[in-house]
Structure 1
Amino acid sequence: MDRILVTGASGFVARHLIGELLRAGYLVRGTVRTRSRLQSIQAATVALAPGREDRLEIVEADLLDDAGWASAMADVQAVMHVATVIVAEEPRDPSTVIRPAVEGTERILRFAHAEGIRRVVMTSSIATVGYGHGYDSGVRTYTEADFTDLSKMRHPWAYCIGKTRAEQAAWAFASGKGMELTTIHPGAILGPASDPQTSISLGLVSGLLDGSTPAMPRIGFAISDVRDVAAMHLAALRDPESIGQRYLCTGPYTRFDQVAAILRRAYPDYPVTLKTVPDWLMRLVALMNGPVRQIINDIGNEKHFDGAKGERLLGRPYFTVEEAILSAAESLIRLGLVHRPNSARPRQPEPAE
């Protein structure tokens, strides 16, 4: 059996990807910065690939340190580079996000090449596609042919900078060294949590369900189901025609208030708000950094990302936006991450008119 290295094994996407690989018959070696989340990874593996836990090995390796990477790459046939740093608020020091993204990617590719590994599938983002194109407002659709231009971004965003520079570095290295690279570009990743150690992105759902989100920005985003993102990595690994290609893994544009409406219909007794915050106030609050700074580039812009190419690679339809949202909600409640009101009783979503 081929052994696949998955970086950042404790992450939301990585845990689902490990499950996909194990179910498909691969051996998996996952990297973590520290072993503090080992129990969480094991719990996710039991949930997602029961009976295959013995084919998973976890090793320590830090994106900002050479130690451990040579041995991590030993006897590996392909690398899935998923590891990234995601923070809930724009950091005071952007390098805490940018350095692991860029230096970590360069380090992983360098050690993979030294070990003779040519095949790499990398988790990128729509952040490397739909920004810095000079638009302050309007409706536009982006494809894999579009690349974020950091020099034209009005509002710097550490995650976007790190992801874009990392992908640029990856393509440059792969081209110069003859490596076989594919990049996968999800949007806001929802879908079911496998264990209590969940992703920051699921805070979008939990904040609405528990009432800690008192009002919503008037923006939307491309939602990706974590199950599609993981499956697309595996599909890329198996399809030689994916080499040298970028793939958007994105569903239709969905407004924040549409997410709230889906949750209110399914969970009528939960305190899901439908209040929105005017754009002018969001721009004012963004001057003070915080979470708003990360979405300021999207205010006034309706960005659609054409995921048709990725869906063809996947070989099946994406999970619907509603499935991604409600599966996230169900898992958060089931795992005790959102407390159920005494009167709460989930119901099936109403059919679309």
Structure 2
Amino acid sequence: MGEREGEVVCVTGGSGYIGSWLVQLLLHRGYTVNATLKNLNDEKETKHLQSLDGANQSNLRLFQMDLLNYDSIVAAVTGAAGVFHVASPCIVDQVQDPQLQLLDPAIKGTINVLTAAKEAGVRRVVVTSSISAIFPSPNWPADVVKDEDCWTDEEYCKQKGVWYPLSKTLAEKAAWKFAVEKGLDIVVVNPGTVMGPIIPPAINASMLMILRLLQGCTETYEDFFMGLVHVKDVALAHILVYENTLATGRHLCVEAISHYGDFAAKVAELYPEYKVPRLPKDTQPGLLRTKDGSKKLKELGLVFTPMEQIIKDSVESLRSKGYLS
């Protein structure tokens, strides 16, 4: 157990893919966790959390929360020293009603969580943003590697109808504005495409990408992909930036900045028995590759899992959960 024995933190979206990994690692470090989920009466949201190592009624408390219902957030945040705001809808497929499905929960939800945190006297809030708040950014200089100074082009997203990157960009900008105006200490993690072992019973959007690829899908996710990252590394990144007072600003969180085509080629090489399509080499036009995209997190001590291991862990998990034969 860590030196944080008994410190109370709140994880919004605690039953989700990143959230459940984060809850698991926080419990392991001795924290008491208030985890929020959509429905306390749904075993698909509660059972996998309650069966985590070290979870008991005194150190894991589950709260039903709606991002647009302020009072439900207050209940979960009260008494917490820190908040990890992970909850945000993720849809990379066709979106029917962007405002209702993505923009409102992401933007208003973030402001509601930050407001509740400020009122409750929370010391630090870690906001889970995304590389989708960094990319697509077609006007970024072609010879410069994308980093934390880069922001997604909002107009491009509106014109192309890519609503998820728009939701993450607007939510993160709203968070920074709130932090400055209200004097709240926030720090941000911007994960790439998150893969690896699945704790919840349901499959999430990013793991669906590798499942579809193995089934022969030729989609290249032109506006959504900037590199892979292991789900455990994402959870660790959140804890690192929470515990380290020197961590400030945004933190790009990818194993490497790479193209979806690089990922597809590696999957095909590792799993020749599946019908993985041959994709163009450059699937993300104008994106410069680098092994060293996440310098800030590396300086905090994070050692990233390499792409090959992320793929192996993902396929293993899909098989064990019955998604792949």
TM-score, length-scaled by structure 1: 0.81
RMSD: 2.5
CA-CA distance at 1:37 after TM superposition:
4.4
- Note if contact 2:49-2:55 (Cα within 8 Å) is conserved in structure 1: no
Q: Which amino acid aligns with 1:113?
A: K
Structure showing greater radius of gyration is 1
Q: 1:42 to 1:304 in 2, by over 3 A?
A: farther
CA-CA distance at 1:110 after TM superposition:
0.8
Q: Larger deviation: 87-96 or 116-125?
A: 87-96
Q: 1:113 to 1:218 in 2, by over 3 A?
A: closer
Aligned to 1:311: 298
- Note if contact 2:132-2:168 (Cα within 8 Å) is conserved in structure 1: yes
Q: Distance in 1 between matches of 2:258 and 2:62?
A: 37
- Note if contact 2:124-2:186 (Cα within 8 Å) is conserved in structure 1: yes
Q: How does 1:268-283 map to 2 (within 5 A)?
A: 268-269=272-273, 271-276=274-279
Q: How does 1:90-101 map to 2 (within 5 A)?
A: 90-95=94-99, 96-101=101-106
- Note if contact 2:131-2:226 (Cα within 8 Å) is conserved in structure 1: no
More strand by share: 1
- Note if contact 1:225-1:324 (Cα within 8 Å) is conserved in structure 2: yes
CA distances 1:125-174 after superposition (whole Å, capped 9, x unpaired): 11112334426x95651111222342455524211111111111111111
CA distances 1:234-257 after superposition (whole Å, capped 9, x unpaired): 011110011x42111112233434
Aligned to 1:130: 135
Q: Secondary structure at the match of 1:185?
A: strand
CA-CA distance at 1:40 after TM superposition:
4.3
- Is the counterpart of residue 74 in structure 1 residue 78 in structure 2? yes
- Structure 2 gap ranges (5+): 1-5
Aligned to 2:198: 193
Of structures 1 and 2, the one scoring higher in RCO (CA 8 A, sep 6+) is 1
- Note if contact 1:88-1:200 (Cα within 8 Å) is conserved in structure 2: yes
Q: 1:152 to 1:198 in 2, by over 3 A?
A: closer
TM-score, length-scaled by structure 2: 0.87
Q: Which of 256, 263, 267 is matched with 1:263 structurally? A: 267
Q: 1:37 to 1:228 in 2, by over 3 A?
A: farther
Q: Which amino acid aligns with 1:118?
A: R
Aligned to 1:157: 162
- Is the counterpart of residue 301 in structure 1 residue 306 in structure 2? no
Q: Which amino acid aligns with 2:180?
A: S
Q: Which of 207, 211, 216 is matched with 1:202 structurally? A: 207
Aligned to 2:227: 222
- Note if contact 2:259-2:289 (Cα within 8 Å) is conserved in structure 1: no
CA-CA distance at 1:122 after TM superposition:
0.6
Q: How does 1:1-353 map to 2 (within 5 A)?
A: 1-35=6-40, 37-44=42-49, 46=51, 49-54=52-57, 55-95=59-99, 96-134=101-139, 140-151=144-155, 153=157, 154-209=159-214, 211-213=215-217, 215-217=218-220, 221-242=226-247, 244-269=248-273, 271-276=274-279, 299-304=284-289, 306-313=293-300, 315-338=301-324, 340=325
- Structure 1 gap ranges (5+): 280-297, 341-353
- Note if contact 1:5-1:30 (Cα within 8 Å) is conserved in structure 2: yes
Q: 1:265 to 1:256 in 2, by over 3 A?
A: same
Q: 1:140 to 1:66 in 2, by over 3 A?
A: same
Q: Which amino acid aligns with 2:295?
A: A
- Note if contact 2:28-2:54 (Cα within 8 Å) is conserved in structure 1: no
CA-CA distance at 1:304 after TM superposition:
4.2
CA-CA distance at 1:177 after TM superposition:
1.7
Q: Which amino acid aligns with 1:97?
A: L
Q: Distance in 1 between matches of 2:41 and 2:112?
A: 23
Q: Distance in 1 between matches of 2:286 and 2:138?
A: 11
Q: State how many pairs are aligned.
A: 313
Q: 1:121 to 1:65 in 2, by over 3 A?
A: same
- Note if contact 1:224-1:249 (Cα within 8 Å) is conserved in structure 2: yes
Q: Distance in 2 between matches of 1:17 and 1:227?
A: 8
Q: Secondary structure at the match of 1:35?
A: coil
- Note if contact 1:20-1:230 (Cα within 8 Å) is conserved in structure 2: yes
